[in-house]
Structure 1
């Protein structure tokens, strides 16, 4: 099995343990993952800035990359989560427009709403 690439984009900043926690959870589930940080400095709760950043970065990553994006004014709420595949890359994030630009730029994509929160 190839080493999966997981690219992270958040508005969490890097002064506390949030980003480290995400990285730890991913490595527990997939110890071989290669974790890359796009940025964790998206302005807090700025979904538009996050969407532009994700859309700008995604095409430069190899096919098969999994993008985990979290910029959400309603984090911790009941907001739905989305998973999508676009041009051979995978995206997971809140259903708040964060993934929209990356998907709109794709030649072809499919998205589903995630219902199991575990």
Structure 2
């Protein structure tokens, strides 16, 4: 039996998550349901894309991912089912899939067409569950929809490089539970554009000229008291491969996080300038 994951902005206070799970179990009594998160900021598509990109690969091939964020059906927001990287995604066509599909081409995309039989103000419950369970039973995507070859692209997910290849213009993509600021600038883009040149990262009124490989590198080898570094700001590439601005051992209740202490918010601009040909203070992880 395939795993079915749930990623939504429903929260856990209301009945929505329980109703969706109940509907899945009614269709597939032996279903294996995993909550990725229900705490997406309401209607935040880029946050959804980031979390989904960095979680789906941990599941076995054949897993079906139901995504319920900004899922109300409209002429501009169709419902789609996608087979991609040996996984299935049942979601609105609002751009959230573009972060994954920017690197991996979908094998098949269909526009779900069962709405003629189901009129609903709660499509995750009434439509997405039916589609996910149909796929879990081995159903072919073309039975529940018409094959299409395009999906909506989310432009703000993609950072830009200027014509002279001396600057990357990115932005804040996500702020995590520690207040760390994750940008849309990948390690691959940094290395491809930077080509070993020195650099300066500009984030609000702060700048960084060094990128660490991990958080505790900021301590150094000779430090005797690591606590003296609590609250220090640093830049690193996180485990997902994106540039992150952090506060060492941040605590939102005491020290604070990078978002609050540095005044960085979702969609704020992050710029990397590259200079003369010299090696930066950064060694890519192997």
1:93 alignment counterpart: 91
CA RMSD of aligned residues (A): 1.4
How is 1:63-102 mapped onto 2 (pairs within 5 angstroms)? 63-72=61-70, 75-78=71-74, 79-102=77-100
Contact 1:58–1:102, Cα closer than 8 Å, also in 2: no
What TM-score comes out, normalization by structure 1 length?
0.89
The alignment covers a number of residue pairs equal to 114
Q: What are structure 2's unaligned runs of at least 5 residues?
A: 119-286
Contact 2:64–2:87, Cα closer than 8 Å, also in 1: yes
- Alpha-carbon distance in structure 1 between the residues aligned to 2:106 and 2:92: 20
- Alpha-carbon distance in structure 2 between the residues aligned to 1:71 and 1:40: 9
Larger Rg: 2
**Segments of 4+ in structure 1 off by > 6 A?**
none
What TM-score comes out, normalization by structure 2 length?
0.38
| Of 54, 62, 66, the match for 1:56 | 54
| Of 37, 40, 53, the match for 1:39 | 37
With a CA cutoff of 8 Å and minimum separation of 6, indicate the structure with the bigger relative contact order.
1
1:13-58 deviation digits (Å, cap 9, x = unpaired): 0011000111111111111110000000010110110011111111
* Pair 65,101 (structure 1): closer, same or farther in 2 beyond 3 Å: same
Contact 1:80–1:115, Cα closer than 8 Å, also in 2: no
